[in-house]
């Protein structure tokens, strides 16, 4: 089974800050990596698919990068509405999720 | 528009059974791979299992934590997927989401989830 290791588990940043979340796969998954945003009481929302493709309707401040085993989600300028938990997910073989990163606003 | 509506959640005693349904619309259900994902309160997302289409003989795959206790099935004539949960444990308490794998295989569409509580 493919394991996904996500870090940090939580972070606190100010509005306007650049935020970076990393995700590492236990084996090569090419670009089969997605990023989801989940707000309390809601289902996860797709932000980035195939490592770097922005889902329709998602603000351009969200950017994904990486290939193989190491991936990054960057929020270029944090906004209050970005308060949420972010998960990476591999779709190379069945599905596995990272542990999540809770983003808080200072 | 892809729509997935889960139902069947509720309170069940340890050792009991429950069957969840996922009603789908807005896409060709019979061609789609369907997954179930769960999330315990305050915890992360855990993949439960998937079922492939008739083309792939409705093959199923499960997470180790539920293998032998949970069964995924589908009724293509009713555009519905199911999750039969037997021998339930308190640690199975979670919101259960149904997801549809996009035809590209890259990502998933999600339902809103249904809450299952296993407690005496």
As to burial, measured by CB atoms within 10 angstroms (0-12 exposed, 13-18 middle, 19+ buried), residue B115 is: middle
Residue B59 pLDDT: 98
- Pair of tokens at residue B88: 């339930």
The tens digit of pLDDT for each residue in B41-62 reads 999 999 999 999 999 999 999 9
Exposure b/e, A17-41, CB count within 10 A at least 16 = b: eebbbbbbbeeebebbbbbbbbeee
Residue A12 pLDDT: 97
Place A2 in a pLDDT band, splitting at 50, 70 and 90: very high
The tens digit of pLDDT for each residue in B67-98 reads 999 999 999 999 999 999 999 999 999 999 99
Q: Is there a contact between B108 and A95 if contact means CB atoms under 8 Å apart? A: yes
Choose among A55, A62, A71, A67: nearest CA to A18.
A62
Q: Is there a contact between B106 and A34 if contact means CB atoms under 8 Å apart? A: yes
Q: Is residue A25 within 8 Å of A58, Cβ to Cβ? A: no
Instruction: Kindly tell me if the per-residue pLDDT of B103 is higher than 90.
Output: no
Residue A54 pLDDT: 97
Place A98 in a pLDDT band, splitting at 50, 70 and 90: very high
CB-hemisphere CA count at 13 Å for A3?
A: 2
Quote the percentage of chain A above a pLDDT of 90: 100
Q: How close A45 gets to chain B, by Cα (Å)? A: 8
Q: Is there a contact between B106 and A98 if contact means CB atoms under 8 Å apart? A: no
Beta-carbon contacts of residue B38 (< 8 Å; ≥ 6 apart): B45, B46, B48, B92, B94, B95, B96, B97, B116
Q: Is there a contact between B47 and A97 if contact means CB atoms under 8 Å apart? A: yes
Q: How close A42 gets to chain B, by Cα (Å)? A: 7
Q: List B60's β-bridge partners, or say none.
A: B51
The tens digit of pLDDT for each residue in A39-84 reads 999 999 999 999 999 999 999 999 999 999 999 999 999 999 999 9
């Amino acid at each position: 089974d493919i394991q996904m290791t996500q870090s940090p588990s939580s972070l606190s940043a100010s509005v306007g800050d650049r935020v970076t979340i990393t995700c590492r796969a236990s084996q090569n998954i090419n670009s089969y990596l997605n990023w989801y945003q989940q707000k309390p009481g809601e289902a996860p929302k797709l932000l980035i698919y195939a490592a770097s493709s922005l889902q329709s309707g998602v603000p351009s401040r969200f950017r994904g990068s990486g290939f193989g085993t190491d991936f990054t989600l960057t929020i270029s300028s944090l906004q209050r509405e970005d308060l949420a938990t972010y998960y990476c997910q591999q779709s190379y073989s069945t599905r596995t999720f990272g542990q999540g990163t809770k983003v808080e606003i200072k | 528009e892809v729509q997935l509506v889960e139902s069947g959640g509720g309170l069940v005693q340890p050792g009991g059974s429950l069957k969840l349904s996922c009603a789908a619309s807005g896409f060709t259900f019979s061609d789609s791979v369907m997954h179930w994902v769960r999330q315990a309160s305050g915890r992360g997302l855990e993949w439960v299992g998937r079922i492939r289409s008739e083309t792939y003989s409705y093959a199923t795959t499960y997470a180790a934590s539920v293998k032998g206790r949970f069964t995924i099935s589908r009724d293509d004539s009713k555009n519905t997927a199911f999750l039969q949960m037997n021998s339930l444990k308190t640690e199975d308490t979670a919101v259960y989401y149904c997801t549809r794998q996009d035809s590209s295989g890259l990502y998933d569409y999600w339902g809103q989830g249904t809450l299952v509580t296993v407690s005496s």
